[in-house]
């Protein structure tokens, strides 16, 4: 479904732009926090980050009532998503499109996972977010064995590569795990069935 800007009423268009600006502000805040963080050691990768945004809840369909704006938690918001017309996206201050390095699609006949896609984005997202790791060099190991923190090791900083993939609704699974396993102190208990895949984390 494609939605043209001309078909949006001015108040809906203004609301969509306001939501986009709020989302951009939250992303900018996250970017600044990531930029201040110490570069990750290669030994600590891969790393997953979750951040709240002002549009973390799915709004009930066609509802403009404020009471209906909190529904199912989700990781991305907005009623129109990628179907926003070009000028609305530009009005929010976002770049119109990003380039993925390559896309692999699995056809229905090849696998039972209908609609699965794996999109390696290279360092496209990591450059914009400033997510880097310190490359391990031959002289890093003695330094780390002697107790030198990874940030002081002499390896070269490189941008991490990110991957977008769908084999199951991962964001919904993460939301379910967070909602059902959060402890009183704010920590999250990893379900027993997932612990073998957590590299020793509990």
pLDDT higher at 10 or 167: 10
Q: Where are the domains of the chain?
A: 1-97, 98-165, 168-202
Q: What is the residue-averaged pLDDT of the chain?
A: 63
Mean pLDDT in residue range 97-113: 50
Confidence of residue 102 (pLDDT cuts 50, 70, 90): very low
- HEC assignment per residue over the chain: CCCCHHHCCHHHHHHHHHHHHHHHHHHHHHHHHHHHCCCEEHHHCCCCCCCCCCCCEECCCCCCCHHHCCCEECCCCCCCHHHCCHHHHHHCCCCCCCCCCCCEECCCCCCCCCCCEEEEEECHHHHHHCCEEECCCCCHHHHHHCCCCHHHCCCCEEECCEEEEECCCHHHHHHHHHHHHECCCCCECCCHHHHHHCCCCC
pLDDT at 79: 38
**pLDDT tens digits, one per residue of 40-97:** 555 555 555 555 555 444 555 555 555 544 544 444 433 333 444 555 556 666 555 5
| Rounded average pLDDT over 146-168 | 66
Chain segment 19-36, per-residue pLDDT in tens: 777 777 766 666 565 555
Predicted TM-score (pTM) of the model is 0.30
């Amino acid at each position: 479904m494609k939605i043209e800007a001309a078909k949006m009423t001015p108040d809906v268009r203004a609301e969509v732009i306001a939501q986009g600006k709020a989302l951009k502000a939250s992303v900018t805040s996250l970017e600044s926090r990531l930029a201040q963080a110490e570069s990750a050691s290669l030994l600590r990768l891969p790393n997953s980050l979750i951040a709240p945004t002002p549009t973390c809840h799915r709004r009930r369909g066609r509802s403009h009532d404020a009471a209906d704006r909190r529904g199912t938690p989700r990781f991305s918001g907005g009623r129109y998503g990628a179907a926003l017309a070009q000028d609305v996206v530009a009005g929010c201050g976002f770049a119109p499109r990003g380039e993925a390095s390559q896309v692999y699609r699995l056809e229905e006949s090849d696998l039972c996972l209908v609609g699965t896609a794996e999109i390696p984005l290279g360092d496209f997202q990591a450059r914009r977010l400033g997510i880097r790791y310190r490359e391990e060099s031959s002289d890093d190991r003695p330094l780390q064995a002697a107790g030198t923190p990874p940030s002081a090791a002499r390896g070269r900083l490189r941008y991490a590569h990110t991957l977008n993939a769908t084999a199951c609704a991962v964001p919904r699974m993460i939301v379910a795990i967070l909602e059902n396993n959060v402890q009183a102190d704010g920590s999250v208990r990893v379900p027993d069935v997932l612990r073998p895949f957590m590299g020793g984390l509990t």
